[in-house]
């Protein structure tokens, strides 16, 4: 969707106003965009018609960005920075995200976070990692999604290239641009050499652990497999080694993987010795 310059300005005005209001009054948008009231109202009507801004009539008339409007602002940001040139198809829909193909000088994937609507509490709980949030009075879905994207991009930069993950390329608002991963989600695959993949996954879990990172949502849905190897995706909910929930998360991650291989391929591994392998604890040594 391409917007006229004044529509873009007003869309930015709504975004800016959402730092202070859940529903942004027209006066605030007007003050931000430096356009007359008539023009602002006209453009707002257009944005509402396009279904990228929502109007709410209460004691006053307020406006809020919809996710599609926020997507447009993020895409604009990437185009300006020449991170992407053209948009492609939807290549993935997760619990809390939409992933699109895009082109720069090579094919890339854009993951648009959608956290705010569903796991607001989770993001709020993890906000001690994100100091600037404290300053934002109105902690809306928009910030929840932006913080999740920021968190994912930052941790990907720590892990890449030591761990087999997509290459992190850029982040803007609630969106992360990364390299396209080959293959399919492991849940959809039938592996010919399952043991090779199981060892490979555990090796990557260990490498991440050595860098101080535990995925915390690891399962057959977040491992992509192809003939050439495997890639672990979807990192925003990671915890750090040494944090309160670290052991619990690591155990859950490893267990999810082991249960999958046991059920689907009858490959059995001992949970505790696998955890010890990840942690670098030699057999016989107390954990
Ligand atoms: N870099 C990528 N290349 C190709 N496909 C991808 C890539 N990243 C994600 N996908 C596809 O999109 C789907 C959703 O992505 P992802 O698992 O990161 O999000 P999610 O499950 O919604 O996670 P979150 O917990 O962050 O909300 C994946 O299962 C996968 O099929
Ligand atoms: Mg996922």
Q: For the domain that residue 36 is a member of, what is the CATH number?
A: 1.10.10.10
User: How many Cβ atoms are within 10 Å of 42's Cβ, its own excluded?
Assistant: 14
Q: Is residue 33 part of a domain?
A: yes
* Residues with catalytic function: 217
Tens digits of per-residue pLDDT, 213-242?
999 999 999 999 999 999 999 999 999 999
Tens digits of per-residue pLDDT, 88-97?
999 999 888 9
The Å distance, Cα 266 to ligand 2 centre, comes to 24
Q: Is residue 257 part of a domain?
A: yes
Q: For the domain that residue 193 is a member of, what is the CATH number?
A: 1.10.510.10
The Å distance, Cα 234 to ligand 2 centre, comes to 5
- What average pLDDT does the chain have? 91
Q: Say yes or no: 97 and 37 in one domain.
A: no
Q: Which of 148, 164, 179 is the last residue of a domain?
A: 179
Tens digits of per-residue pLDDT, 75-115?
999 999 999 999 999 999 988 899 999 999 999 999 999 98
Q: Is residue 79 part of a domain?
A: no
User: How many Cβ atoms are within 10 Å of 70's Cβ, its own excluded?
Assistant: 26
Pocket test for ligand 1, best of 234, 236, 239 (most atoms within 8 A of CB): 234
- Residue bearing the CA closest to ligand 1, atom 17: 234
How many structural domains are present in the chain? 3
Q: Say yes or no: 200 and 236 in one domain.
A: yes
User: Which among 172, 167, 146 is positioned nearest to 157, based on CA atoms?
Assistant: 167
Q: What is the pLDDT of residue 117?
A: 58
Q: Residue 71: CB within 6 Å of ligand 1?
A: no
Q: Say yes or no: 170 and 202 in one domain.
A: no
Residue given tokens 């209460």 in the structure block: 58
| Count of residues in the chain | 287
The alpha carbon of 107 is separated from its chain's Cα centroid by a whole number of angstroms, namely: 19
Q: Residue 95: CB within 6 Å of ligand 1?
A: yes
Q: Which one of the ligands is nearest to 94 CA? A: 1
| 3-class SS of residue 86 | strand
Q: Say yes or no: 137 and 174 in one domain.
A: yes
Structural domain including 22 reads 5-65
Pocket test for ligand 1, best of 88, 93, 99, 153 (most atoms within 8 A of CB): 99
Tens digits of per-residue pLDDT, 132-156?
444 444 457 888 899 999 999 999 9
Nearest-5° Cα angle at 87, 146 to 2: 85
- Residue bearing the CA closest to ligand 1, atom 13: 92
Q: Residue 180: CB within 6 Å of ligand 1?
A: yes
User: Which among 34, 32, 6, 3 is positioned nearest to 17, based on CA atoms?
Assistant: 32
Q: Say yes or no: 175 and 188 in one domain.
A: no
Q: Say yes or no: 273 and 196 in one domain.
A: yes
Please give the model's pTM, rounded to 2 decimal places. 0.91
Q: Which of 139, 163, 179 is the last residue of a domain?
A: 179
Ligand 1 atom at minimum distance from 233 CA:
18
């Amino acid at each position: 969707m391409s917007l006229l310059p004044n529509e873009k300005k007003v869309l930015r005005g709504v975004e800016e106003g959402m730092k202070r209001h859940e529903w942004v009054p027209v006066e605030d948008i007007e003050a931000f965009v430096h356009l007359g009231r008539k023009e602002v109202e006209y453009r707002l009507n257009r944005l509402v018609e396009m279904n990228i801004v929502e109007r709410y009539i209460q004691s006053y008339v307020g406006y809020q960005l919809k996710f599609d409007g926020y997507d447009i602002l993020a895409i604009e940001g990437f185009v300006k920075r020449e991170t992407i040139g053209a948009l492609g198809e939807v290549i993935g829909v997760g619990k809390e995200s939409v992933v699109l193909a895009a082109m720069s000088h090579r094919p890339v994937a854009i993951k648009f976070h959608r956290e705010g609507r569903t796991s607001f509490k989770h993001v709020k709980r993890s906000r001690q990692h994100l100091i600037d949030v404290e300053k934002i009075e109105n902690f809306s879905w928009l910030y929840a999604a932006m913080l999740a994207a920021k968190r994912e991009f930052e941790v990907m930069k720590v892990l890449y290239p030591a761990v087999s993950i997509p290459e992190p390329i850029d982040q803007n608002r609630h969106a992360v641009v990364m390299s396209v991963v080959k293959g399919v989600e492991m849940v959809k695959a039938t592996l010919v050499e399952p043991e090779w993949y199981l060892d490979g996954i555990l090796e990557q879990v260990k490498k991440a652990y050595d860098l101080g990172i535990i995925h915390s949502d690891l399962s057959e849905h977040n491992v992509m497999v192809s003939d050439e190897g495997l890639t672990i995706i979807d990192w925003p909910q990671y915890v750090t080694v040494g944090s309160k929930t670290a052991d619990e998360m690591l155990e859950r991650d490893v267990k999810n993987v082991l249960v999958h291989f046991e059920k689907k391929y009858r490959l059995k591994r001992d949970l505790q010795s696998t955890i010890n392998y990840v942690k670098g604890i030699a057999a016989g040594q107390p954990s």
